[in-house]
Structure 1
Amino acid sequence: MEIIIGSIPLSIEDVVRVARYDHKVEIDQESKKKVNHSREYVEKLLAERRVVYGLTTGFGKFSETYIPSEQAKQLQINLIRSHACGLGNPFPKEVARAIILLRVNALLQGHSGIRLKVIETMVEMLNKGVTPVIPEQGSLGASGDLAPLAHLALVLMGEGEAYYEGEQMDGGKALASAGIQPVSLEAKEGLALINGTQVMTAVGTLACWDAQQLANWADCTAALTTDVLRGVKQAFEPETHDIRPHAGQKQVAKNILKLTKDSKLMTEQGELRVQDAYSLRCAPQVHGASRDALEHIQEKLVIEINSVTDNPLIFAEEDKVISGGNFHGQPIALAMDYLSIAAAELANISERRIERMVNPQLNDPLPGFLTKEGGMNSGLMIPQYAAASVVSENKSLAHPASVDSIPSSANQEDHVSMGTTAARKAAQIVGNAYKVLAIELFCGARAADYQNPENLGKGTKWAYSFCREHVPFIEEDHVMHPYFRKLEHLMKDIETTQQLEQQINA
């Protein structure tokens, strides 16, 4: 499947397919015209020796320093080399690929003044599998993601480091191996490459996609846990949710009812108990709030994915160059802090359901810690410890990054978003939440073995079978870590998530 970029807005799924599944990219013809027109205007400005930020001036606090047009090329090279100050471990390859895609999409809007050749080289890198090594730390999230994007630009110039065919190597060697010519940057192009929010947006887009699938899995594991604990089904019936009509809440209640349909384990109100604990009964309200948050976050990300976020911006038709603040990452920073909270809560309530399944004071008639030979075997005692540890870690990570700001560039850039930090933390929390839900699925399947899986509902039986397809039932104590890890990876896989959606939408 080839993704056409430029005039056609990119979706979150488009980004995932290119970044994670290596789909090819093609630039549409209309965007090529826009880019060429914008570049012609930049050449005109240079010929007229106009004073334009980043074109014939220095950067940041040096914006008042005039640079002669004959030094414009060297100015761009110096910019990239001086700004490539990234720190820490490199981003995963999928994130680096998403960064390239989003930067290309922004440049194709025709307001950046960059040559088409530079953009086409970036597309070649995507299509031929040359992935820059981009350190994940070092961005303030305003003036764009300067440091990490400079590492992308280095590879375009034939410098820096890149991955190619499973090997990390010199950027120039990677380009040569793939048959790609490095680019010699010209006026405005270095600034156009690094002044944007594409790093925080790339991290956030992949994390949001994963969180949306996580929300489906949370409904699935909650349904399985509720089923094996013989939950009261009236809590999910529509009357309650119709009179508090939050969209997410209504959706979750509907999902759990569908997944537990035809269950012989679910109970009527008063049959075993009048009402369940909150982690079961309030799943629609808690999961639903996270779903509503994810809808808002997706809206913000889709806008950002298809926006122009560098500076200055070229408006060739109006004969204008405007220095504004589209590079400021605050819209994404706030959304990423919201994502952190939304995902952390899905993990929080999941861990409480795990506790109810294994605790012998709460899980009657199931055996304590889901083992028949307690004492000799610890059963599933420690998986709950592991889930609790990860949930506690998420609480620390969920502290908002967007409320912080440290002035930079001699106080010229006196408020920054910390949006990339917020996005990185959100992605870590989403990853941790998958670990917790994998444990809940593992425990739910074990509990179902003691309740007879044939008694499960239509959808919960599918969840049980999915787990048992990849994880055997072993009653004696054994090493469980590999199984948790396997389930976690499978739950993120696009084909598996589509199977789950089919169960939910059946």
Structure 2
Amino acid sequence: MSVVSKTQTAVIFGQGPLTIKDVDAVATQGCPVALSEDPAFAQRIAAGVAFLDKLLTEDGVIYGVTTGYGDSCTVAVPLHQVNELPLHLLRFHGCGLGDYFNEQESRAILAARLASLTQGYSGVSWGLLERLCELLNRNIIPRIPQEGSVGASGDLTPLSYVAAVICGERDVFYEGQIRPAAEVLAENDLQPLQLRPKEALAIMNGTAVMTGLACLAYQRADYLTCLSSRITALASLALLGNSNHFNEKLFSVKPHAGQQQVAGWIRKDMNHQSYPRNSERLQDRYSIRCAPHVIGALRDALPWFRETIENELNSANDNPIIDGEGEQVLHGGHFYGGHIAMVMDAMKTAVANLADLHDRQMALLMDTKYNQGLPPNLSASSIERSTLNHGFKAVQIGCSAWTAEALKLTMPASVFSRSTECHNQDKVSMGTIAARDCLRILQLTEQVLAASLMSVQQGVRLRMAKAELDEVSLQSDVRQMLTQLSEQIELLAEDRMLEHELRQLVSQIQQRHWHLYEDLA
């Protein structure tokens, strides 16, 4: 993404609660942002700044404004050095390592931080809020290392890269290049800001990294429940499965709403009335028969995930909280990312189960002992060349590798709290690590689903070629998707390199290319 959309309606910060979809629109679609024009909102922002200024003139003691940071809160900072303190905070936290968040992830982080600061309880100036908007609208995106946050006392180290860019330091993504922030700001006629007392702390001392990533993770997980249902229906068709396993009455007696929804999707995709096949086994194997239960567990968790993520998104989560209108400084721990950590740990486990489900479905499709007469490894080669061709054999091995890695990462990050910073941060959330784990598991699971989609469409096409499945009997949306896939993916008759086709499918999944069900959340 190189430019911000000029046609979309702006997401307004400061006028009411934001949603996961708002953050996703800003991050992935380049939606512009703006600040609310409500006078009450502007007054709340101004009151926080005025109250801080008043405290400074009265020699008030404010953590991170007139004191050092963390365990150094007992160290008094002389008033003549207060204005230098923000620069020291962002500079000594400039020690992030690991890979860098991509542009979309970094835009989500900026949006999440702006959402928190516009609650009006952080004591920041209107100019700082405008600058965050400018960075998003001009697509000047801080280059943020992924590693270095324990998810309490805020995402300090990664968010220091946001604060630094505002001050004209470090690097940014801009127009497809990585460039020094100072150069890009100058090209855009933007002067580096001198951060006011508390402003570096307000930017850095919060849950914006984990929350921004959680918003993106939610959208991807939501979509995967739908795609997983469609792939299961195609797998069942390819295996000549028993559509009665998704019977409406059957699922009415175990009334988990998400599970029922998934069963309904699969039932519709299989076109149950025209395809009520009853296999010789009477009961299909668990990876087909129990698919609504596996996918439904994630589907049923999504409302809780959404509520928790959006609560965090619409919170003031730095420290101290500045109540300018009530003239209070409230010292607390709202930077603690426990709620996001819990959601990300739960989500990554549910998503990894989708990878495991489809890895097992694919194993059934490959193996002539279980695939109801399909060729070995789903190869469409001629009999004369069957000894040479190996179909999806290596792809299935890849699925097992991706699934194993996803399952390995499900160890909950939130239980690995480490006491740090002179035992001031002695119980931490690890929410950012949980969010990063979740995104990695989503990537691996999307790879498994891309391979599964490629294999099930081949299996269905082989059934139709053998006149064991009538194309006319297929539900219209399923038929349309299969037609699109057949135009994109040549039937695998002769062994060929599949990497590029797989990467294209992964990209399409991540872009939510196929509109699958009308009631997609």
1:430 is matched with which residue?
442
Q: Quick check: 160-169 or 457-466, which moved more?
A: 457-466
Deviation at residue 69 of structure 1 after TM alignment: 2.2
Alignment of 1:160-175 (within 5 A): 160-175=170-185
Question: In the aligned structure 1, how far is the partner of 2:58 from the partner of 2:221?
Answer: 51
1:477 is matched with which residue?
495
Deviation at residue 72 of structure 1 after TM alignment: 1.1
Are 2:73 and 1:55 aligned?
no
Alignment of 1:75-474 (within 5 A): 75-261=85-271, 266-269=275-278, 271-371=279-379, 372=381, 373-452=385-464, 454=471, 455-474=473-492
CA contact (8 A) 2:149 2:432 kept: yes
Question: In the aligned structure 2, how far is the partner of 1:462 from the partner of 1:263?
Answer: 19
CA contact (8 A) 1:262 1:458 kept: no
Q: 1:67 aligns with which of 52, 59, 77?
A: 77
Deviation at residue 205 of structure 1 after TM alignment: 1.2
CA contact (8 A) 1:366 1:450 kept: yes
Deviation at residue 227 of structure 1 after TM alignment: 1.3
Map Cα deviations across residues 305-354 of structure 1 (whole Å, 9 max, x no partner): 11110000011232210110100011111111111101000111011111
Question: In the aligned structure 2, how far is the partner of 1:29 from the partner of 1:424?
Answer: 35
Identity value in percent: 35
Question: In the aligned structure 1, how far is the partner of 2:189 from the partner of 2:247?
Answer: 60
CA contact (8 A) 2:269 2:474 kept: no
Partner of 1:342: helix, strand, or coil? Answer: helix
Question: In the aligned structure 2, how far is the partner of 1:114 from the partner of 1:466?
Answer: 51
Deviation at residue 173 of structure 1 after TM alignment: 0.8
Gaps of at least 5 residues in structure 2 are 1-7, 465-469
Deviation at residue 471 of structure 1 after TM alignment: 1.6
Q: 1:14 aligns with which of 19, 22, 39?
A: 22
Q: Give the length in aligned residue pairs.
A: 500
Gaps of at least 5 residues in structure 1 are none
- Please identify runs of 4+ aligned residues in structure 1 that moved more than 4 A: none
Question: In the aligned structure 1, how far is the partner of 2:306 from the partner of 2:494?
Answer: 44
**Aligned-partner residue type, residue 254 of structure 1:** G
Deviation at residue 262 of structure 1 after TM alignment: 6.1
Q: CA RMSD in A?
A: 1.5
Question: In the aligned structure 2, how far is the partner of 1:272 from the partner of 1:466?
Answer: 32
CA contact (8 A) 2:166 2:193 kept: yes
1:500 is matched with which residue?
516
**Aligned-partner residue type, residue 268 of structure 1:** R
Map Cα deviations across residues 200-251 of structure 1 (whole Å, 9 max, x no partner): 1111211111111111100010111111111111111111211111111101
Deviation at residue 129 of structure 1 after TM alignment: 0.9
Partner of 2:12: helix, strand, or coil? Answer: strand
Question: In the aligned structure 2, how far is the partner of 1:165 from the partner of 1:483?
Answer: 28
2:11 is matched with which residue?
3
CA contact (8 A) 2:123 2:324 kept: no
Partner of 1:500: helix, strand, or coil? Answer: coil
Q: Quick check: 120-129 or 468-477, which moved more?
A: 468-477
Question: In the aligned structure 2, how far is the partner of 1:480 from the partner of 1:241?
Answer: 38
Partner of 1:314: helix, strand, or coil? Answer: strand
Deviation at residue 263 of structure 1 after TM alignment: 7.6
Q: 2:505 aligns with which of 454, 467, 487?
A: 487
Question: In the aligned structure 2, how far is the partner of 1:366 from the partner of 1:459?
Answer: 24
Question: In the aligned structure 1, how far is the partner of 2:48 from the partner of 2:487?
Answer: 56
Q: Quick check: 40-49 or 132-141, which moved more?
A: 40-49
CA contact (8 A) 1:261 1:459 kept: no
Partner of 2:414: helix, strand, or coil? Answer: coil
Partner of 2:516: helix, strand, or coil? Answer: helix
Question: In the aligned structure 1, how far is the partner of 2:349 from the partner of 2:419?
Answer: 27
CA contact (8 A) 1:125 1:131 kept: yes
Question: In the aligned structure 2, how far is the partner of 1:463 from the partner of 1:444?
Answer: 12
Partner of 2:173: helix, strand, or coil? Answer: strand
CA contact (8 A) 1:102 1:305 kept: yes
Map Cα deviations across residues 138-164 of structure 1 (whole Å, 9 max, x no partner): 001000000000011100000011111
Deviation at residue 24 of structure 1 after TM alignment: 0.4
Question: In the aligned structure 2, how far is the partner of 1:358 from the partner of 1:457?
Answer: 25
CA contact (8 A) 2:243 2:272 kept: no
Partner of 1:32: helix, strand, or coil? Answer: helix
Deviation at residue 273 of structure 1 after TM alignment: 3.1
CA contact (8 A) 2:297 2:350 kept: yes
CA contact (8 A) 1:260 1:459 kept: no
CA contact (8 A) 1:231 1:267 kept: no
Deviation at residue 469 of structure 1 after TM alignment: 3.0
Distance change in 2, residues 1:249/1:440 (3 Å): same
Question: In the aligned structure 2, how far is the partner of 1:168 from the partner of 1:281?
Answer: 49
Map Cα deviations across residues 64-111 of structure 1 (whole Å, 9 max, x no partner): 111122211101111111112211111011111111111111111110
Question: In the aligned structure 1, how far is the partner of 2:316 from the partner of 2:67?
Answer: 21
